[in-house]
Structure 1
Amino acid sequence: MPRIMALPPREPTTVGERLRALACVALARTLAARPLTSRPAWGDIVLPRLLGGLARSASRPATRPEAERAVGIVVTAVPRLGGSSACLPRALAGFLYCRAQGLATTIVVGAADARTVHAWLEAEGLPAGEACDPTGVFTSTHSYGAAPRSSARSDPAPTGSARPARSARRRDG
């Protein structure tokens, strides 16, 4: 039986924000569909690459209020995402909404036990848009997304990335 969860307060939105939120929700529901999430490679390979690439192309990290507003706008546009069984689509939609604004956030998936998992959005290392702090109940098992690239960095990719090694091989070969 699902737990009853209070919806966050409705966010005043413009037509553009509502349309952006609906597009993000549609993509998030596709990414969180059971046929995809039931495949082991999805959570270990595909989702990290997809979300990591999107987050790295963001212009700056989101603040916690910005991430909370993004989750609020998404839940205002589609109230069904406010329930406890829609945590992954809600986190994905909030992530995508922030990314559409050039902001980087992180999606965290945690487990309380073998049968109870939860996904939430984090900004500044803190949960955003959650009724209560999930870190007290859930132990983080996966984290998706990365901080945006800083313009002050001299290297084009994170340390350990395969990208520089491949380009070096092409020039030598």
Structure 2
Amino acid sequence: MTTPSALDRPADVPFTRRLTARLVLLPALALSLLPPRRLRAVLDLVRRGAAPASAVQAGAARDAMCAASLRCAGPRGCLPRSLGAALLCRLRGTWPTWCTGVRVVPPFTAHAWIEAEDHPVDEGVPDGYFTRLMVVAPVSRTDA
């Protein structure tokens, strides 16, 4: 027997923001098909020249992706959701820290998420719950 569950989709996302998220969804899905090395290379190019995203900006981008797509709002939509949120932030001139990794506690599963101000954005888990395996952080002015 299965347990019914409801997806938590933000309802207060403006129409234009949802529309932009829908447009970003296709590139995010395409990026999610790339091998890790190429995905990182593409994200390294995209993040150039962007300022670090604040937690509010990153949270708004994540909410827009969840409001625009049931796939992104679902439990297995972490990769397109995180990529789409990062791309949405980039359209506004910012970049969150994009991460992939695994859960620290069993069962060990892969996950992708964004961080801002050194904390996961709206993941509902404490810091340290995931171990980072691949990180694409904003480029600081000293790194450029």
- Aligned CA distance change for structure 1 residues 109 and 134 (closer, same or farther; 3 Å): farther
* 1:169 corresponding residue in structure 2: none
Matches of 1:46 and 1:104 in 2, distance apart? 19
* 1:139 corresponding residue in structure 2: 131
1:121-132 residue pairs with structure 2 within 5 A? 121-130=114-123, 132=124
What SS does the aligned partner of 2:61 have?
helix
What are structure 2's unaligned runs of at least 5 residues? none
* 1:56 corresponding residue in structure 2: 48
* 1:161 corresponding residue in structure 2: none
User: Size of the alignment, in residue pairs?
Assistant: 141
1:96 aligns with 2:97: no
Dislocated runs of 4+, deviation >6 Å: none
What SS does the aligned partner of 1:85 have?
coil
- Structure 2 residue identity aligned to 1:10: A
- Aligned CA distance change for structure 1 residues 92 and 137 (closer, same or farther; 3 Å): same
Larger radius of gyration: 1
What SS does the aligned partner of 1:84 have?
coil
Contact 1:110-1:140 within 8 A present in 2 as well: yes
* 2:15 corresponding residue in structure 1: 14
Matches of 2:100 and 2:84 in 1, distance apart? 15
Q: How many angstroms does 1:137 deviate by?
A: 3.1
Matches of 1:25 and 1:134 in 2, distance apart? 27
Q: How many angstroms does 1:149 deviate by?
A: 4.5
**RMSD over aligned Cα atoms:** 2.5
| Mean Cα deviation higher: 64-73 or 109-118 | 109-118
> Deviation string for 1:108-129 (max 9, x for gaps)?
1121368511111111111113
Matches of 1:75 and 1:114 in 2, distance apart? 25
- Aligned CA distance change for structure 1 residues 10 and 22 (closer, same or farther; 3 Å): same
Equivalent of 1:119, from 107, 112, 125? 112
Matches of 1:104 and 1:51 in 2, distance apart? 10
> Deviation string for 1:5-44 (max 9, x for gaps)?
74243233133x22221111111111113xx3xxxxx21x
Q: TM-score, normalised by structure 1?
A: 0.70
What are structure 1's unaligned runs of at least 5 residues? 37-41, 159-173
Q: How many angstroms does 1:83 deviate by?
A: 1.1
Higher helix residue share: 1
What SS does the aligned partner of 2:87 have?
helix
| Mean Cα deviation higher: 119-128 or 87-96 | 119-128
Matches of 2:71 and 2:63 in 1, distance apart? 12
Matches of 2:108 and 2:98 in 1, distance apart? 19
Matches of 2:129 and 2:94 in 1, distance apart? 27
